């Protein structure tokens, strides 16, 4: 089949890389793209959040399947336009994409589906925020209700900082969701969904803060690793039973079936698994680590989901190796990242055993690769265990040259040392959602 992938980032580069290894995929094209994607497939300049423009391109290319990577085209209704034109799409409709487009909507769906999540209050004024902060106590969690590319959340013990973030969201015309803080290690789980059924992928853990030891502001993600040796037995089955399938059933019951990837951001608390957030697409940079281990052909899996034909009895197959992904970011990321710097040493990085480089914010100019975004590259290392994967990936990162770049040095370090232990459950898990 011929596949068109929509999106310009590291997630899309990783998806394309996997699709090209699928024996059932004969041709891949990219709408958007970056310097790394352009080295693999033909790229096409198009407004990726324009439903008509993307549909026209898919028709011109005679695409059998369109894979939509980022959240913005999904919320803009690109999948709806493609389906109306009779083209198979891996990605939810505009209505289903509200699971990410509105945190308030997601909370409503979780409440209706009896899915365990954090208590929350929706706020539109500073007074409402202050009341919610007092009610839940510190640490404070304040989330922009709309899309924020992974950077719209503040977790802080400083009440003034929490109020300031909420006010910035109000000034931009939005609202916020104030939540109770969920204590416990976080897990990302992708579920491939066909509107009625779902198949889980391997759990991963990402690192949102910009600096080592989880210091500094939230980013779109500075690294990830998989598998998670510390996750309790039966964890994935529990998430599928208590979170994913109820949400899939609820969305289908509303007449807005969910097709694509449901990203579940989860916390393992003393009261059990709780949902932190949903995304409606592959997470970045977890995708780079997860897909590096996937052995099941990705294109066939996506087409089955797009057609509503997932076989939930067929288990996905995975490499026994561990994968660690480290983001190389530009100076001043996540605020106002520096752009236009030459990026070199990529061949040397990929010459390291078990290492490959995924491009995110890069572009080609006069034969040179230049930085063009905040997260510029993700270096991925594979090894027989986390410690060796870490050693390889940081050997690869050390070969990359970009002026004033930054990266975390502690991705997967605690897991490799066996220092992560989920809290002991204290009793039955209550369902906690939005307050009345």
- Is residue 322 in some structural domain? no
Is 234's pLDDT higher than 60?
yes
pLDDT at 435: 42
pLDDT tier, 144 (very low <50, low <70, confident <90, very high otherwise): confident
Picking from 291, 306, 357, the residue whose alpha carbon sits closest to that of residue 20 is 291
φ, ψ at 305 (rounded to 5°): -65, -45
Cα 299 to Cα 5: distance, rounded to the nearest angstrom = 11
Is 426's pLDDT higher than 80?
no
- Is residue 40 in some structural domain? yes
Q: What is the mean pLDDT of the chain?
A: 93
Query: Within a 10 A sphere around the Cβ of 116, how many other Cβ atoms?
Result: 20
Cα 276 to Cα 329: distance, rounded to the nearest angstrom = 25
Picking from 318, 325, 335, the residue whose alpha carbon sits closest to that of residue 285 is 325
Cα 160 to Cα 165: distance, rounded to the nearest angstrom = 9
Picking from 69, 7, 19, 5, the residue whose alpha carbon sits closest to that of residue 361 is 7
Is 162's pLDDT higher than 70?
yes
135 vs 30, 54, 105, 139, CA distance in Å? 48, 46, 22, 12
pLDDT tier, 436 (very low <50, low <70, confident <90, very high otherwise): very low
* 389 vs 120: which has the higher pLDDT: 389
Domain range enclosing 9: 2-94
pLDDT tier, 137 (very low <50, low <70, confident <90, very high otherwise): confident
DSSP state of 314: S
Q: Are 80 and 147 part of one and the same domain?
A: no
Under a CB-based contact definition with an 8 Å cutoff, are residues 209 and 222 in contact? Answer: yes
Under a CB-based contact definition with an 8 Å cutoff, are residues 208 and 218 in contact? Answer: yes
- Is residue 191 in some structural domain? no
Q: Are 16 and 71 part of one and the same domain?
A: yes
What percent of the chain lies above the pLDDT cut of 70? 97
pLDDT at 141: 87
* Beta strand 209-211 pairing with 259-269: unpaired
- Is residue 285 in some structural domain? no
- Is residue 165 in some structural domain? yes
pLDDT at 429: 45
End of a domain among 163, 179, 195?
179
Buried b (16+ CB within 10 A) or exposed e, 92-112: bbbbbbbbbbbbbbbbbbbee
Is 152's pLDDT higher than 50?
yes
Q: Are 76 and 131 part of one and the same domain?
A: no
- Is residue 133 in some structural domain? yes
pLDDT at 428: 46
Q: Are 68 and 137 part of one and the same domain?
A: no
Cα 150 to Cα 427: distance, rounded to the nearest angstrom = 32
pLDDT at 149: 55
Q: Are 38 and 81 part of one and the same domain?
A: yes
Is 235's pLDDT higher than 70?
yes
Q: What is the pTM of this model?
A: 0.91
* 176 vs 348: which has the higher pLDDT: 348
Domains: count for the chain: 2
- Is residue 72 in some structural domain? yes
pLDDT in tens, 314-373: 889 999 999 999 999 999 999 999 999 999 999 999 999 999 999 999 999 999 999 999
Q: Are 25 and 86 part of one and the same domain?
A: yes
Residue 8 CB contacts under 8 Å (≥ 6 apart), including other chains? 32, 33, 34, 37, 48, 70
pLDDT in tens, 197-213: 999 999 999 999 999 99
pLDDT at 136: 84
- Is residue 230 in some structural domain? no
Least confident of 37-46, 111-120, 406-415: 111-120
Which pair of structure tokens corresponds to residue 417? 């040392």
Cα 100 to Cα 75: distance, rounded to the nearest angstrom = 8
pLDDT in tens, 7-31: 999 999 999 999 999 999 999 999 9
pLDDT at 172: 85
Question: Tell me, what CATH number does 38's domain have?
Answer: 3.40.50.20
φ, ψ at 279 (rounded to 5°): -120, 160
pLDDT at 265: 96
Is 383's pLDDT higher than 60?
yes
Strands in 207-258 per DSSP E: 209-211, 215-218, 223-226
Q: Are 58 and 16 part of one and the same domain?
A: yes
Q: What is the rounded average pLDDT of the residues 171-177?
A: 85
End of a domain among 94, 129, 144?
94
Q: What is the rounded average pLDDT of the residues 365-391?
A: 97
* 252 vs 145: which has the higher pLDDT: 252
Give helix then strand counts, H and E, for the chain.
16, 22
Is 42's pLDDT higher than 60?
yes
Question: Tell me, what CATH number does 175's domain have?
Answer: 3.30.1490.20
């Amino acid at each position: 089949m011929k596949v068109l992938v929509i999106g310009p980032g590291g997630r899309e580069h990783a998806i394309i890389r996997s699709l090209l290894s699928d024996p059932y995929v004969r041709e891949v094209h990219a709408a958007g793209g970056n310097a790394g994607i352009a080295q693999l497939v033909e790229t096409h300049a198009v407004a990726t959040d324009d439903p008509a423009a993307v549909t026209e391109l898919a028709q011109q290319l005679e695409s059998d399947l369109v894979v939509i990577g980022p959240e913005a085209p999904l919320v803009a209704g690109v999948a709806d336009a493609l389906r109306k034109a009779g083209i198979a799409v891996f990605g939810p409709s505009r209505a289903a994409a509200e699971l990410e487009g509105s945190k308030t909507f997601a909370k409503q769906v979780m409440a209706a589906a009896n899915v365990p999540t954090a208590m929350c209050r929706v706020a539109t004024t500073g007074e409402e925020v202050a009341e919610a902060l007092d009610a839940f106590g510190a640490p404070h969690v304040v989330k922009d209700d709309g899309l924020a590319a992974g950077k719209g959340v503040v977790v802080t013990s400083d009440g003034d900082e929490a109020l300031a973030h909420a006010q910035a969201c109000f000034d931009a015309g939005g609202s916020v969701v104030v939540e109770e803080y969920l204590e416990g290690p976080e897990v990302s789980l992708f579920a491939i969904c066909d509107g009625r059924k779902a198949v889980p992928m391997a759990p991963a853990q990402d690192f949102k803060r910009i600096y080592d030891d989880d210091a500094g502001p939230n980013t779109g993600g500075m690294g990830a690793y998989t598998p998670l040796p510390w996750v309790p037995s039966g964890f994935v089955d529990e998430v599928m039973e208590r979170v994913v399938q109820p949400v899939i059933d609820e969305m289908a019951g509303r007449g807005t079936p969910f097709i694509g990837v449901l990203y579940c951001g989860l916390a393992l608390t003393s009261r059990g698994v709780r949902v932190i957030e949903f995304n409606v697409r592959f997470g970045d940079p977890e995708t780079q680590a997860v897909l590096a281990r996937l052995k099941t052909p990705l294109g066939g899996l996506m087409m089955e989901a797009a057609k509503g034909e997932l076989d939930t009895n067929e288990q996905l197959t995975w490499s026994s190796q561990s994968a660690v992904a480290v983001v190389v970011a530009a100076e001043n990321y996540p605020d106002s990242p520096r752009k236009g710097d030459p990026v070199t040493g990529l061949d040397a990085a990929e010459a390291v055993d078990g290492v490959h480089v995924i491009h995110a914010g890069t572009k080609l100019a006069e034969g040179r690769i230049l930085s063009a975004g905040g997260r510029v590259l993700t270096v991925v290392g594979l090894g027989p265990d986390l410690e060796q994967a870490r050693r390889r990936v940081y050997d690869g990162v050390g070969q990359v040259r970009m002026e004033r770049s930054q990266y975390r040095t502690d991705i997967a370090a605690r897991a490799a040392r066996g220092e992560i232990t989920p809290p002991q459950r204290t009793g039955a898990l209550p369902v906690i959602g939005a307050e009345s």
